[in-house]
Every structure is written in C-alpha cells, then in structure tokens.
Amino acid sequence: MRIPSAHLERRLARLVILFAVALFAAPAMAAAAPKDPLSLVPADAAGVGILNLRQLSKAGAITAAVDFLNTLSGPEALASQMLRDARIDPDRDLEKAAIIIGKGEDDDEEYGPLPKALVVSGRFDAQAIYDIARKRSGGRLKETNVGGIDMLQSPTSLSGVIDNSILLTGTTKLVEKIIAVHGGSAKPLPADSPLMRLGKDHRNSSFWMVADVYAAPGSKRQLATMASTGLDSSKLQHLVAWADVTSGSTSFRTEVRCADPETAQLMKTWLQLVTNMTVGMGRIITAERPRDQQTVNRVARRLTTGADGSTAYIESELSAKLLARLRSAVLGLGTGEERVNSMQPRIFR
C-alpha cells in the first residue's frame, strides 16, 4: 500500500471536516459561549442543513466516522493523528455544524450552484487552528482580514475562527457574507423564511437539510435529465431531508416538495429509477465479492420510495450492524490517496 503524501493529508483533512469533525481545532482558552450556526445563515441562502454534533457523538457516529477515515487512509490512521496533533476532543468541544448553500454566479455544471460553506460551533483556540492549518497546507494559505477577523485564504476559499466559538470554511464570497451577518452589516435568514419553516419540524433530528431544488448538489445535471423524460422541473420546489442516528440504527427520509400531486407521482418514478440504477451499479461493482453484494441487496430491500399528495420521497432505516457491513463494502473498493480523492466533494478539492 502506498504511503500517503502530504497532498493526501491535506485532502483527508477536508474530508474529515465534511464528516462534521473539525480537525483544525483545539480546546479553547476563555472561549465565548458557542453561537448557533443558524443565526449566521445569510438572508439569500438557497439551502441550509444542520448536523447536531452533540447528538451524533452520543450515538457513536463521530467515533465511527473517524475510525472509517483511519482505515480509508491506510496504516497511518491520519484522522486520529490529526486529532491528536490538534488536541481536539470532539465529544467535548463540538456542538453543531451548519452546511450552507449560497446563491451566486459560480455555477458548476456537474455539482450544482456554488458557493457552499461549513460553519461549526464549539470551543476553539484560534491561534492553534491557524498554526496547524498553515503547517498542513504546505504554504498554500495566505493571511488576510475580513470584517476585523483574521482569516486564511486559498485561491477559492476562506477559513477561520470567530470569537473562539465558530469555525468556518467555504467559498470566498459566501464566507464574507457569513462574517457580515456576524458583524451586523448583513441580515440573517429570517425565521419565517420558507427554508426555516420547512426545517422547523426537524430541529431535534441528528441531521436536517432544506434547499431550493435548483440549489441541490448535482441539480443541473439531474434536472436536465428529468426534462428529457417529460418531468417539468419548474414544478419542483424544495428538497427536505432529515436523519435520526442512534447507537442501534439510522433512519432517514428525503422529500421533494412539488407544485401538484401529478408532478409528485412523476418524481416518485424518477426516484425509483435512480434508486434502481444505483443499486444495480452496486451489484456490478461487488459481483466478485458475494458478502458485499449481499450487503447491497439488504440495503436495497430497506429503501422505500413513494408519493403523498404533492410530496415524493425516499426513506429507509438501517441497523448499526448493516451500516458497519456497508462501510466494510466501501473500504473493499480500496484505500489510500486515490480512494480519498474519489470520495471528496468537488468543493473541497
């Protein structure tokens, strides 16, 4: 197995962040009380999601994610190594994480509109974070100041810490908007906005997300394909998703809110098609690994698609044992730099 390079180390760092483990953090020294990330969402956001890190930690999900990334990276176990270097205790220091999708002109043909950002609340030591980030970036990050806050800048992104209680990273324009909201020079997303109202019923879930359909990742490609099948994408309104994670199981449901029941029925057919294609691909990939193919089949049997009024949905509940087998099947595809890169969303590459 090849030895991961410094390049792999940087990429794995960003992947760990996506799994809601803020690696570039340390216990705070006189840190402010953590602020709710929802209060920093800009008024023109096209989507917002929340990870309840405290709840996920109690369910063992963060530990499982770190273990998975350790195995994925190879014998060096980079996730744990980086946690040790940063002196971070996820169970103690992390509260919530917000995934924010902004509106902008930088549309990506394959992965949907940019910009995007991650905002993590907790207790952090800004100086420790900046020191570690500089060291691991290999000199790629430049120091800058935005709204009175010291930040680290790459060609396309900004990262930094606010008041030792908010860690944020994302595309430059969106992070600038988030800082403006924090400073009071820009308005946050109103509590009575459609996004906030749709997410209100799921605030106690381990994870929830609401987005305009056109802002969902991969939307441009998917909507173009839908149009070719006769589905009028202009009648698709919002994507609403949530998940509840416990030590014994994980349940999730993703809904597409439509303009009318007819569109919802067409959307249900589309969800069934995508599900069948994904499962079929999984069966092909695991054709020479019977145990992993059995896992794919078990997961497939637990997926349900349907339509209720003007809402199309897909939902499932997977046991902890089945999820462990699924992680094992993914690891069977390979580890090391190539695998880490293939799993990393384009925004963090």
Structure tokens at 323: 């999820």
Q: Which backbone phi and psi does 289 adopt, to 5 degrees? A: -130, 85
Q: What is the pTM of this model?
A: 0.79
What single string gives the DSSP state of each residue in 238-267? EEEEEEEE-SSEEEEEEEEEESSHHHHHHH
Phi/psi-derived region of residue 188, left when phi > 0, alpha when psi is between -120 and 50, beta in every other case: beta
Task: Check residue 27 and give its pLDDT.
Answer: 35
Please report, for residues 35, 50, 311, the alpha-carbon distance to residue 194 in angstroms, rounded to integers and kept in the order given: 22, 16, 16
Per DSSP, what are the bridge partners of residue 317?
A: 251
Per DSSP, what are the bridge partners of residue 99?
A: 49, 118
Q: Tokens 């359909």 label which residue?
A: 213
Dihedral of the alpha carbons of 119, 122, 126, 130, in degrees to the nearest 10: -50
Q: Is 218 exposed, middle or buried (0-12, 13-18, 19+ CB in 10 A)?
A: exposed
Please report, for residues 8, 46, 75, 76, the alpha-carbon distance to residue 1 in angstroms, rounded to integers and kept in the order given: 14, 42, 9, 11
Task: Check residue 48 and give its pLDDT.
Answer: 95
pLDDT tens digits for 23-61? 333 333 334 455 799 999 999 999 999 999 999 999 999
Q: Strand (E) positions, 200-308?
A: 207-212, 236-245, 249-258, 304-308
Please give the Cα distance from 279 to 300 (Å, whole number). 7
The three-class DSSP label of residue 118 is strand
Structure tokens at 267: 């959307």
Q: Which backbone phi and psi does 340 adopt, to 5 degrees? A: -60, -45
- CA 155: distance to chain centroid? 22
Per DSSP, what are the bridge partners of residue 122?
A: 94
Q: Are 219 and 112 in contact (CB under 8 A)?
A: yes
CB atoms within 10 A of CB 301: 10
pLDDT tens digits for 220-230? 666 666 766 67
Task: Check residue 308 and give its pLDDT.
Answer: 97
- For the chain, residues with pLDDT lower than 70 are 1-34, 76, 104-115, 215-225, 227-229, 334-349
Please give the Cα distance from 209 to 212 (Å, whole number). 10
Task: Check residue 294 and give its pLDDT.
Answer: 95
